[in-house]
Amino acid sequence: MTPILELDDVRKHYTTRSGLARRTSSVRAVDGVSLRLERGETLGLVGESGCGKSTLARTLVLLEKPDSGEIRFDGRPVAVTDAASLRRDAQIVFQDPYTSLPPHMKVRRIIAEPLMIHRIASGAELRARVDELIADVGLPGTVADKLPGQLSGGQRQRVSIARALALEPSLLIADESVSALDVSVQAQILNLLNGLRERHGLTLLFVSHDIGVVTYVSQRIAVMYLGKIVEMGPTADVYGNALHPYTRALMAAVPSMEHRGRERIEVRGDPPDPRHPPPGCAYHPRCPIAQDICRVESPPVREWLPGRHAACHFALDGVSDGRNTG
Ligand SMILES: Nc1ncnc2c1ncn2[C@@H]1O[C@H](COP(=O)(O)OP(=O)(O)OP(=O)(O)O)[C@@H](O)[C@H]1O
Ligand SMILES: [Mg+2]
């Protein structure tokens, strides 16, 4: 089956001016990303703050124009002119349920708005559709007449999801949409997203800096570092036996994932300044297994095992000697 979304070598760089001299510097927020999303799956996108996750999410629904590379939606190249229809078919649920809803609008109106703007429903039909969406995200009908400020964080998140579902998208992107919530509420939202995916045949791109959360909901995960995908593969395989030392470090940093004698490796130090990435492999200054080649040669993404991609000169080292098998 044709993947719902394919990216080939997509780049998005930002140029900024700063300092007294107004010197320009460039940030390679998304630096040659290739990936595919299969229909009906959940792909988790994970990486530290600033690695380019949101830029990638925004670029792939053309909220940002890519500098280069190709994006295909449902097999068709997405010319920038298709942006409106693509944005309808691919919806983003934003990060913070506390600020992403208009505070003076009642929930019914918030969810109805996309249906009104696109002239999809009006009158009794609109009312019925909104009630249906409210029920679909597990909210009681009484929230319809409330303002966002009268709802809990989890309820607001559900309202955001209902609003995103109103136009019946085939792809839903959830960008850090649970991190502002406490753990038990997070789990409920993750379960809701999973249920919606199954009921509506949705494809999900789940974006978070928390690899524990990402592995919980995703069939496959993609790990991003400084604008590049450094590892991608089925969650169960990556969880049991990551190919990239950065993935291993991210997993070791999650307390609940540190178990069964998994080697404890910290993500050492801060991420490098994205305006001045290190030469060679961008991860080498923090990498416990870096060799000379890593300091000079940037490793391309390779498929080392079926369905398992990594950008590391020594991707199979942790696999062959079983060090990373937990
Ligand atoms: N509009 C912009 N102009 C200039 N630089 C930008 C812009 N948006 C993002 N950046 C830079 O691009 C890089 C990637 O940012 P992005 O927001 O995509 O990261 P992220 O992985 O989503 O981070 P977080 O986990 O904090 O949400 C950062 O260095 C950021 O400062
Ligand atoms: Mg972000």
Q: Which residue has the higher pLDDT, 309 or 76?
A: 309
Residue 64 CA to residue 67 CA, distance in Å, equals 9
Residues whose CB falls within 8 Å of the CB of residue 200, separated by 6 or more in sequence, listed in order: 165, 168
Given this model, what pLDDT does residue 326 score? 40
- Atom 8 of ligand 1: nearest residue by CA position: 55
Q: Which of 126, 133, 72, 63 is nearest to 92 (CA)?
A: 63
The residue from 157, 190, 218 where one domain ends is: 218
Q: Per the domain annotation, does 1 fall within a domain?
A: no
Given this model, what pLDDT does residue 322 score? 45
Q: Per the domain annotation, does 73 fall within a domain?
A: no
Residues in a beta bridge with 204 = 42, 172
Q: How confident is the model at residue 80 (pLDDT cuts 50, 70, 90)?
A: low
Q: Which atom of ligand 1 is nearest to the CA of 56?
A: 18
Asked if 281 contacts 298 with a C-beta cutoff of 8 angstroms, the reply is yes
168 and 42 in one domain?
yes
Q: Which amino acid is at 102?
A: P
The residue from 160, 183, 218 where one domain ends is: 218
Q: How confident is the model at residue 213 (pLDDT cuts 50, 70, 90)?
A: confident
Q: Per the domain annotation, does 245 fall within a domain?
A: yes
Domain count, the chain: 2
Q: Which of 14, 100, 7 is nearest to 57 (CA)?
A: 7
Q: Per the domain annotation, does 229 fall within a domain?
A: yes
188 and 50 in one domain?
yes
Q: Per the domain annotation, does 159 fall within a domain?
A: yes
Q: What is the mean pLDDT of residues 102-123?
A: 94
Check if 54 has its Cβ closer than 6 Å to any atom of ligand 1. Answer: yes
In tens, the pLDDT along 265-276 reads 556 777 888 888
Tokens of 100: 């992403």
147 and 170 in one domain?
yes
Q: Which of 112, 108, 110, 179 is nearest to 145 (CA)?
A: 108
Given this model, what pLDDT does residue 325 score? 43
- Atom 5 of ligand 1: nearest residue by CA position: 14
Nearby residues for ligand 2 (ion, Cβ within 5 Å) = 54
CATH number of the domain encompassing residue 137: 3.40.50.300
Relative to the alpha carbon of 48, which ligand is closest?
1
Given this model, what pLDDT does residue 260 score? 46
- Exposed/middle/buried for residue 16 (C-beta within 10 Å: 0-12, 13-18, 19+): exposed
Check if 286 has its Cβ closer than 6 Å to any atom of ligand 1. Answer: no
Q: Which of 203, 135, 127 is nearest to 169 (CA)?
A: 203
In tens, the pLDDT along 293-309 reads 999 999 999 999 999 99
Per-chain mean pLDDT for the chain = 88
State yes or no: pLDDT of 157 exceeds 70. yes
Numbers of helices and strands, H then E, in the chain:
11, 12
Owning domain of residue 175: 36-61+85-218
Q: Per the domain annotation, does 27 fall within a domain?
A: no
Q: How confident is the model at residue 16 (pLDDT cuts 50, 70, 90)?
A: confident
Q: Per the domain annotation, does 239 fall within a domain?
A: yes
Q: How confident is the model at residue 323 (pLDDT cuts 50, 70, 90)?
A: very low
State yes or no: pLDDT of 8 exceeds 50. yes
Q: Which helix (H) or strand (E) holds 8?
A: strand 5-18
State yes or no: pLDDT of 163 exceeds 90. yes
303 and 264 in one domain?
yes
Q: Per the domain annotation, does 10 fall within a domain?
A: no
The residue from 185, 218, 251 where one domain ends is: 218
Q: Which residue has the higher pLDDT, 236 or 240?
A: 236
State yes or no: pLDDT of 252 exceeds 90. no
